[in-house]
Structure 1
Amino acid sequence: MGKRRVVLLELNELSPTLVDKFIQEGRLPSFQQFRSESHVHVSESAEVAPFLDPWVQWITVHSGQDYADHQILNLGDGHNLRVPNLWDYVSDDGGTVWVCGSMNISYRKPLRGAVLPDPWAFGVEPHPESLRPYFDFVRQQVLDHTNPDARFRTEDYLTFVNFMVRSGLSFKTCAAIAQQLAQEKISKVDVRWKRATLLDALQMDVFRSLYQDMSPAFATFFSNSTAHYQHMYWRNLDPSPFKVKPTPAEQDAYADAIRYGYENHDKLIRDVVELAGKDAVIILCTALSQQPCTRFDDDGGKNLYRPRDFNAFVRACGISGSFTTAPVMAEQFQVLFPTSEAARKAAGQLDSAHYRGRKFLLVERREKELMVGCILHDTFDTKGEVEGNGFRFPFEKLLYHMEGIKSGMHHPHGIFWVRLPEKEHRIVPGTVPLNRIAPTVLSMYGVEKPSHMRGDALPGYAPAKPSRRVGRERAA
């Protein structure tokens, strides 16, 4: 492994259109400078709905395989990927890696470096084990942040604080947390939504600390905060396309939420550029983007409903025996059984659930795992009962309506900006298929494209010396 270092900055689902808008308004100086020093590409996913989801596209970015090849459809299923990812190849070639929060990942052991899985990970553990206090605490906070019944233990907070103090907690982050808590006490409008950016600040502190210690050849940093804001508050940013208009009170609280997210990411770009140094290649990638979601407006907008307690909900649906549950994103959750037969029987039981004559759950099975979620998205009276094969229970006892109405949806185009040490600016016409990103990154290390990657590396990024095979592709 040579001296080249690459940082893949993964700002999930940012919109090229909104980046341009906010740059023109003078709100994103770091974005503007970064773009002026980069090869500016627009990426394009090969998938359309229902396969157009970030947990599908990020696997393409990391592995070089489109969904047709990798067949990973659900968040939390990344551990089922059958081929190595970018960091596996860099590690096999002797480089140290630092994978910080990347979505729906897997990794091969032994691995040179560190891995912090995303909060929705299922079947993937942090590496080294010293990262577990951060992973466990953040996972619990993210997955239960909408649940009014969620309770967090004092000892969990203390363990997390102890970890952060030893792992780069900055004064700036402490001040941001204090300011947020003070605002929540005195503000007359909802400001709790701003907490998502505190996770970015905490994760950047951890990322910075390990990056400085390891000086990795390859690193990733992932953020989902603005993607969340876009999903929830696009109708507040621009009410004009929507039939369901926000109320004046909602506008007071959320009109600037998306802009706030982009301004927070502007600071992340500045921090990463300063941290990486002048000799690093920095790639800004969003995998896909978002656009207004208006197709549910005739039914009152897209509403989401979720179990208060996943284990209790599964038991109430008449399922006994051994199983484990794990919340995923929004209304979805996973159920893992000891055998495929047990999963098959449970899938049939859950599939029988209905509410006032309407099918209630979408249940997808993959061997021993079920992905489950409510498929009713309109506004309805929740005073009735959920019924199925041998079970009945009050809706409101075990489920709740998640706050807000979804107003952003996915778009296949994304940002792919490559900032080389030379800072050459070039606007590249056309689009770049996502499956070309992984071979392009490997080419920067002089690593030959593995056989499972169908896309070719973009020209102009490989060193002058001949490429070589590594890991599973290494010549015998």
Structure 2
Amino acid sequence: KLHKSSDVYVTHTDDPTLEPWVQWPTFHTGQTEHVHGATELDEGHLIKTPRIWDALAEDGIDSIVFGSMNADTAHKDTVFLVPDPWSAGVRPSDPAYEAFHKFISFHVAEHTNPNAKPTRADALNFVKFMLGHGLSLQTITKAMNQIAGEKTSSADRKWRRALVLDLLMWDVFANTWSKRRPQFATYFANSTAYLQHRYWRHMQPDVYQVKPSDEEMLNYGNAIEDSYRHMDVIIGKAFDMVGPTGRIVLATALSQEANTRYEHIGGKFVYRPHNFKDLFAWAGGPQPVSFEPVMTHQAWATFASEEEAAEAEATLDALQSNGKTIMEWRRAANRIMFWSGLISKTDPGFEITNAKTGERKAFDELFMLVGQVNNSQHSRDGAFWVQTADGSAIRHADRLPLEDAYGIMMDMFEGSASAASQVAAE
């Protein structure tokens, strides 16, 4: 339905860094990476280039920005913001949404940590918030079926939690939209991207040298296709929400494709520390004041000063095997994004050395195997569908520079500050 009533573009990015936390700011600002400067997650508060919702605010158009990656706003009065789950530097516009954001962020950031459990207080605060902010019977039923399925099914159904998370977020988004009735709104869902990274190998096993087992195919063979059908449901909800006078934009900013670069080593495997504090305590040196997990196996470590962060780089470098560090990191002021650089399965008894102290330790005492989670890689092309005002459909043959999507969306509001609602489903 949306495809048949839209200007359909394929976007293309030439940003040097091909990561969603870079391409989404390019999409939102209409400027390339060289201008907006984003290179990592949780940098929304550092981006000074105005986003589309800031430009609309200058014309008196109010917005809801719900979960958009690396988002922030300078227009607190007209832009209602709920930041993405990886954001620690930007807070929700309404403090009442803190319980929601905290709970969602915890489960997204800690989904690879089997020992992570939310506090009872955080869980109760989340439930109270959801009951007052649009939790639907349909989502409750989906969540209950998910819990029951995990307990009774012989197959691994945990991956479907990502789909339930989308529905929880949609319920809150739709409730917020119905109360505020903005002229522009964004809703960001990450489940399909997450499942593509995990299970592209299972969707297209013939492309890979390393084949999934029969059990893995039973568990995950339909995961990505199921997520596509799930996204179709979300778009249907958007149609119902905005009605016949609203217009919907579907954008992906980039896309994914099979990742076969690591087949010669059996695929890429990643590791995450059991406990960030324990890792840095064993490493020695300056200790972070906080940790902010982001993607599957990566986290920010925040230090009291830039000097301490710089010193901690040497600490990470000292975690070694055969005289070479096992860690990778990037520093930004007083913060370090860090992760294990190992990408193959380790042998039993594998040890690492702290080059500063000479102490040796079993690798698996400090790190856990997350698994083979990079079965796809990012592609520079993305989908950008803009529902037309008259319902006509146009297929654009030439690729559209990603930064030019900004102008097309701005044109949707040209000449009318009272235009019908527009929803960008990201």
TM-score with structure 1 setting the length: 0.84
User: In the aligned structure 1, how far is the partner of 2:243 from the partner of 2:114?
Assistant: 43
Report if the CA contact (8 A) 1:96-1:214 is conserved.
no
Match of 1:458 in 2: none
Match of 2:369 in 1: 401
Report if the CA contact (8 A) 1:310-1:327 is conserved.
no
Which residue identity is paired with 1:69?
Answer: V
User: In the aligned structure 1, how far is the partner of 2:412 from the partner of 2:6?
Assistant: 15
Match of 1:426 in 2: 394
User: In the aligned structure 2, how far is the partner of 1:240 from the partner of 1:322?
Assistant: 45
Q: Per the alignment, do residues 302 and 321 of structure 1 end up closer, same or farther by CA in structure 2, a change over 3 Å counting?
A: closer
Equivalent residue in structure 2 for 1:103, among 61, 64, 69: 69
Cα displacement string for residues 121-151 of structure 1 (whole angstroms, at most 9, x for unaligned residues) = 1311111111111100011111111112212
Correspondence 1:335-374 to 2 at 5 A: 335-374=301-340
Report if the CA contact (8 A) 2:281-2:287 is conserved.
no
Match of 1:331 in 2: 297
Match of 1:155 in 2: 121
Q: Per the alignment, do residues 111 and 304 of structure 1 end up closer, same or farther by CA in structure 2, a change over 3 Å counting?
A: farther
Tell me, what secondary structure is at the counterpart of 1:401?
A: strand
Which residue identity is paired with 2:164?
Answer: L
Q: Per the alignment, do residues 382 and 374 of structure 1 end up closer, same or farther by CA in structure 2, a change over 3 Å counting?
A: farther
Tell me, what secondary structure is at the counterpart of 1:223?
A: coil
Tell me, what secondary structure is at the counterpart of 1:61?
A: helix
Report if the CA contact (8 A) 2:85-2:109 is conserved.
yes
Equivalent residue in structure 1 for 2:404, among 409, 416, 436: 436
Tell me, what secondary structure is at the counterpart of 1:429?
A: coil
Report if the CA contact (8 A) 1:79-1:122 is conserved.
no
Match of 1:136 in 2: 102
- Check if 1:445 corresponds to 2:419: no
Q: How many residues align?
A: 415
Tell me, what secondary structure is at the counterpart of 1:430?
A: coil
- Check if 1:216 corresponds to 2:167: no
User: In the aligned structure 2, how far is the partner of 1:71 from the partner of 1:113?
Assistant: 22
Which residue identity is paired with 1:254?
Answer: Y
Equivalent residue in structure 2 for 1:70, among 27, 36, 41: 36
Q: 5+ residue gaps in structure 1?
A: 1-32, 447-462, 466-476
Which residue identity is paired with 2:407?
Answer: P
Tell me, what secondary structure is at the counterpart of 1:73?
A: coil
What is the CA distance between 1:385 and its match in structure 2?
Answer: 2.8
Match of 1:52 in 2: 18
Please list every run of at least 4 consecutive aligned residues from structure 1 whose deviation after the TM superposition is greater than 6 angstroms: none
User: In the aligned structure 2, how far is the partner of 1:77 from the partner of 1:389?
Assistant: 32
Report if the CA contact (8 A) 2:288-2:301 is conserved.
no
User: In the aligned structure 1, how far is the partner of 2:21 from the partner of 2:157?
Assistant: 28
Correspondence 1:152-231 to 2 at 5 A: 152-231=118-197
Cα displacement string for residues 399-458 of structure 1 (whole angstroms, at most 9, x for unaligned residues) = 111034421111111100000231111111111111111222223223xxxxxxxxxxxx
Q: 5+ residue gaps in structure 2?
A: 418-426
TM-score with structure 2 setting the length: 0.94
Report if the CA contact (8 A) 2:286-2:311 is conserved.
no
What is the CA distance between 1:322 and its match in structure 2?
Answer: 5.2
Tell me, what secondary structure is at the counterpart of 2:53?
A: helix
What is the CA distance between 1:97 and its match in structure 2?
Answer: 1.1
Report if the CA contact (8 A) 1:302-1:377 is conserved.
yes
User: In the aligned structure 1, how far is the partner of 2:93 from the partner of 2:23?
Assistant: 23
- Check if 1:241 corresponds to 2:242: no
Cα displacement string for residues 208-252 of structure 1 (whole angstroms, at most 9, x for unaligned residues) = 101011111110000110111110101111101101100011011
Report if the CA contact (8 A) 1:45-1:433 is conserved.
yes
Which residue identity is paired with 1:224?
Answer: N
Match of 2:11 in 1: 43
Seq. identity, %: 33
Equivalent residue in structure 1 for 2:51, among 77, 85, 99: 85
